[in-house]
């Protein structure tokens, strides 16, 4: 079996827990190599190990998901919602074949009339527009060609169901099961009392246009940001490929909510 691995933070290179995991895999007959960029992906790779937190997982996705390589997140960060596994558990599960692949929707972005150097138009969690000065940002939104009232706010995001527990959650959006076929439109710090987050079908066409006195705005795709002119039509649709995520054993989203967000913690919910 051939496995790639990706380490974003220099401080983690040479970490004893990572070295021990790699040695155990090599002893089990695994052919290991380091992922540096999309060009370094090798044929017949079974999976890619991402060592770090959720941000590192998203950076690994940038490099390998177009090649269709599944990613296993090994947690060396804080929250660990995408990178949910410990290095101590990974070797036995990988060598024993105790892993599954789940497919998560990806978003694709098209920017009308704007050339952005180094632009990679895909996101797993969300696509967002932000103000880039203290001036408020107005975001005009169309869903399948039908205009919504303008959102006046710090910004606005379009999230996948898997991304509902990321930025959208912080902005007051709803939590959705990853298998839900939806998109979530969530304003960031809105100045409208009567405009709320909106859930739309996965195949809906969503177009965003920002306007502000500053003349420019920030377009973010997951953990990557670009400055674009106000008035740019940002069209958000479905990518032609999914992100393939490796889970060790049966993935349980509800258990993850309870353990990472302490969801529903209440003295009345404890056993007597």
Query: Hey, CA dihedral for 157, 162, 167, 168, is it positive or negative?
Result: positive
pLDDT at 169 over 90: yes
Query: Residue 224: its pLDDT value, please?
Result: 93
Rounded mean pLDDT of 155-182? 94
Residues in the chain: 272
Q: Enumerate residues 6+ apart whose C-beta is below 8 A from 150.
A: 138, 139, 140, 141
Sign of CA dihedral 90, 91, 92, 94: positive
Report residue 272's pLDDT band, with 50, 70 and 90 as the boundaries: low
Could you tell me which residues come within 8 angstroms of residue 17 by beta carbon, excluding any fewer than 6 positions away?
Answer: 76, 87, 88
70 versus 260: the higher-pLDDT residue is 70
106 contacts 239 by C-beta, under 8 angstroms: yes
pLDDT band at 256 (very low <50, low <70, confident <90, very high): confident
Q: Provide the whole-model pTM.
A: 0.87
Residues forming a β-bridge with 47: 3
User: Catalytic: which of 15, 44, 54, 154?
Assistant: 54
DSSP element (H, E) containing 256: helix 253-260
Query: Catalytic residue at 54?
Result: yes
Cα separation values, 133 from 50, 108, 122, 137, 216, Å: 35, 26, 26, 9, 9
- Within 8 A by CB and 6+ apart from 251, the residues are 100, 102
Whether residue 81 has pLDDT greater than 80: no
Over residues 17-73, the pLDDT tens digits come to 999 999 999 999 999 999 987 778 898 999 999 999 888 999 999 999 888 999 999
Q: What share of the chain is helix, strand, coil (3-state, %, to 5)?
A: 20, 35, 40
Q: What percent of the chain has pLDDT over 70?
A: 98
Residue 174: per-residue pLDDT: 95
- For 81-95, 174-188, 204-218, which range has the lowest pLDDT when averaged over its residues? 81-95
């Amino acid at each position: 079996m051939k496995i790639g691995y990706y380490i974003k933070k220099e401080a983690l290179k040479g970490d004893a827990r990572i070295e021990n995991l790699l040695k155990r895999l090599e002893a089990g007959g695994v052919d290991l190599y380091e992922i540096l960029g999309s060009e370094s992906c090798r044929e017949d790779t079974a999976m890619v190990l991402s060592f770090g937190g959720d941000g590192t997982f998203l950076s690994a996705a940038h490099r390998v998901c177009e090649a269709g390589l599944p990613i296993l997140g090994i947690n060396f960060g804080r929250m660990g919602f995408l990178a949910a596994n410990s290095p101590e558990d990974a070797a036995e599960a990988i060598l024993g074949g105790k892993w599954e692949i789940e497919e998560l929707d990806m978003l694709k972005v098209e920017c009308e009339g704007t050339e952005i150097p180094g632009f990679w138009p895909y996101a797993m969690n969300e696509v967002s527009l932000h103000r880039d000065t203290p001036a408020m940002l107005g975001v005009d939104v169309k869903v399948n060609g039908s205009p919504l009232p303008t959102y006046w706010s710090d910004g606005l995001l379009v999230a996948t169901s898997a991304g509902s527990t990321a930025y959208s959650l912080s902005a007051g959006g709803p939590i959705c099961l990853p298998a839900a076929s939806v998109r979530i439109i969530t304003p960031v710090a809105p100045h409208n009392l009567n405009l709320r987050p909106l859930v739309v079908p996965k195949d809906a066409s969503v177009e965003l246009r920002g306007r502000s006195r500053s003349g420019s705005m920030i377009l973010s795709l997951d953990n990557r940001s670009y400055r674009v002119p106000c008035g740019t039509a940002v069209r958000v649709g479905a990518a032609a490929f999914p992100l393939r995520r490796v889970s060790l054993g049966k993935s349980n989203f509800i258990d993850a909510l309870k353990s990472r967000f302490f969801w529903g913690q209440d003295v009345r919910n404890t056993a007597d």
